Amino acid sequence: MQRSFSDLEYAAKKKVTRRNRFLGEIEAVTPWPALLAEVEPFYPKGEGRGRPPIGLERMLRMYIAQQCFGLSDEGTEDALYDSQAIRSFVGIDLSREAAPDATTLLKFRRLLETHQLTERIFAAINVHLAAKGLMLREGTVVDATIIAAPSSTKNQDGQRDPEMHQTKKGNQWHFGMKAHIGVDAESGLTHTIVTTAAHVSDVTQAHALLHGEETTVFGDAGYQGVEKREENQDSEVTWHVALRPGKRRALPDSASGRLLERAEQIKASIRAKVEHPFHIVKNVFALRKVRYRGLAKNAAQLFTLFALANLLIAKRRLFALEARGAS
């Protein structure tokens, strides 16, 4: 295909921006054929006299660009006109065609939500990483994070989102939802996601975060008593849960106390793996507040974001494997 003057001028520039580099990494590590295969059976085929639908890969790329930069549907449409990097990633040449509009992206996003396709995307990426030997199975780290929701009632319904709730953490109240995740203790890759309202206790969801093949599970002090809960009575895993801060501070300055403190440090170093996916989702993908009303829509988005976070966490190892394969 012949390239436009703007594409050629862009390709000739010397500086590689952070956005270029970031999208280049996403481009390189994403198993595109596997993701397209998950969505394709549900994507409109364009039969009949109407205008044929925009190509599936183009819409999937547009959706992923939206999630990577935390954009609204309208903001994503504008970005296609403003950013050559995003246009190149999506595959749009404005000299020949218009960019897909916000309504088209909204319909595609609803298609993914309706058929739980973001869960399939998450699973397909994890299958890809497991095939590369990057997803180990012996240990899991469980944790949860609060994602804030707007608490204002100045909206069309005149009320807060009824599916969100408030909870107290420390001395502060938070209104929103929780993302509970199970992370591979070796690689730091997220293998399981459960979403609830913010007031749901972390320990009640621990059993749902296990894939069933692990022998050890690590959790912070919020999971105290997890092994005694009814749903975990038949589980054969060994739980390594942090001491509550007060009990840890009260450890005696003795050989046994120092040994217990060292054990707490080791458990904390393993639990730290769970902070990386949270950091990427909240800071790299800018999900500081929920973007939609209701748990289902936000859960669908979280499956996409944690799937992309897994790719970013694994990128160095994926590039190393590719380099070894090429040599």
Per-position pLDDT tens, the chain of length 327: 445 545 555 555 667 789 999 999 999 999 999 999 999 999 998 655 556 678 999 999 999 999 999 999 999 999 999 999 999 999 999 888 888 999 999 999 999 999 999 999 999 999 999 999 998 889 999 999 999 998 777 666 668 899 999 998 888 999 999 999 999 999 999 999 999 999 999 999 999 999 999 999 999 999 999 999 999 988 899 999 999 999 999 999 999 999 999 999 999 999 999 999 999 999 999 999 999 999 999 999 999 999 999 999 999 999 998 888 766
Q: Looking at the DSSP assignment, which residues form a beta bridge with residue 148?
A: 176, 289
Q: What is the pLDDT of residue 2?
A: 45
Of 103, 185, 104, 101, the C-alpha closest to 143 is 185
pTM beyond 0.75, yes or no: yes
Burial class (CB in 10 A: 0-12, 13-18, 19+), 324: exposed
Are 39 and 168 part of one and the same domain?
no
If asked whether residues 250 and 176 sit together in one domain, one would say: yes
Q: State the residue range of the domain holding 90.
A: 5-115
Choosing from 115, 150, 166, the residue where a domain stops is 115
Nearest residue to 140 via CA among 193, 198, 195, 196? 193
The reply to whether 154 and 271 lie within a common domain is yes
How many degrees, rounded to 5, is the angle at CA 80 between CA 279 and CA 12? Answer: 95
Q: Please indicate, yes or no, whether residues 85 and 219 belong to a single structural domain of this protein.
A: no
On the 0-12 / 13-18 / 19+ scale of CB atoms within 10 A, 284 is: middle
Rg (CA), the chain: 22
Q: Please, what is the end-to-end C-alpha distance for the chain in angstroms?
A: 31
Same domain for 199 and 287, yes or no, is yes
Tell whether 101 is covered by a domain.
yes
187 and 95 share a domain? no
Together in a domain, 86 and 217: no
What per-residue confidence (pLDDT) applies to 14?
Answer: 60
> Is 70 inside a domain boundary?
yes
Tell me the CA distances in angstroms from 227 to 27, 44, 56, 195, 223, one per residue in order.
42, 47, 46, 21, 9
Q: 244 and 164 in one domain?
A: yes
Largest CA distance in the chain: 82
Q: Comparing C-alpha atoms, which of 35, 41, 33 is closest to residue 67?
A: 35
**120 is a domain residue:** no
Alpha carbon distances (Å) from 283 to 85, 278, 322, 326? 21, 8, 28, 34
Q: Let me know whether 161 and 268 are in one domain.
A: yes
Are 259 and 171 contained in the same domain? yes
pLDDT of residue 97: 84
| 132 occurs within a structural domain | no
- Number of domains within the chain: 2
Is position 121 within any domain?
no
pLDDT at 160: 85
